């Protein structure tokens, strides 16, 4: 999986959480909302378990993603709340930034910024 794709999925999970909360508030009067909320909850649970698995792999130092520029399998060098740092063998250090409700952005890091 590409690092930019995963960061985009995480950015849209906030909207899924809001949809689940809204469906539980309004579901007694609207049965369609109950089904949509259950589907959003199922997707949110899958994304949550996948994120937990990725977090475990990150702690063990075995997490790899595809570079957003060249697609090469690259080890994750570190992560913060919004940033994911890759050490691409061909592009060098790469930072992928998550933005809520929008696609993630990627940038190459130069040697001066490290």
The alpha carbon of residue 97 and the mean position of all alpha carbons in its chain are separated, in whole angstroms, by 10
What pLDDT is stored for residue 26 in this prediction? 82
**Which tens digit of pLDDT belongs to each residue from 9-56?**
888 888 899 999 988 888 777 888 888 889 999 999 999 999 999 999
The pTM assigned to this predicted structure is: 0.83
* Contacts (Cβ under 8 Å, ≥6 apart) of 35: none
For residue 20, what pLDDT is reported?
A: 92
Determine the pLDDT at residue 112.
54
The kind and range of the H/E element at 92 are strand 92-97
Instruction: In whole angstroms, give the CA distance from residue 77 to residue 70.
Output: 17
CB 82 within 8 A of CB 95: no
Give the model's pLDDT for residue 111: 62
Compute CA 40 distance to the chain's CA centroid, rounded to the nearest angstrom. 16
Mean pLDDT, residues 61-81: 93
Q: What is the mean pLDDT of the chain?
A: 89
Residues of the chain above pLDDT 90, percent: 55
Query: Is residue 76 scored above 60 in pLDDT?
Result: yes
Nearest partner of 91 among 113, 71, 65, judged by Cα: 71
């Amino acid at each position: 999986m590409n690092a930019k794709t995963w960061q985009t999925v995480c950015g849209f999970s906030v909207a899924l959480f809001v949809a689940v909360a809204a469906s539980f508030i309004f579901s007694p009067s609207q049965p369609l909302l109950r089904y949509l909320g259950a589907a959003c909850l199922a997707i949110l649970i899958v994304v949550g378990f996948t994120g937990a698995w990725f977090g475990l792999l990150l702690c063990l130092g075995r997490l790899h993603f595809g570079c957003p520029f060249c697609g090469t399998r690259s080890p994750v060098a570190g992560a913060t709340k919004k940033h994911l740092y890759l050490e691409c063998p061909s592009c060098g250090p790469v930072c992928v930034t998550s933005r809520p409700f929008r696609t993630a952005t990627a940038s190459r890091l130069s040697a001066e910024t490290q």
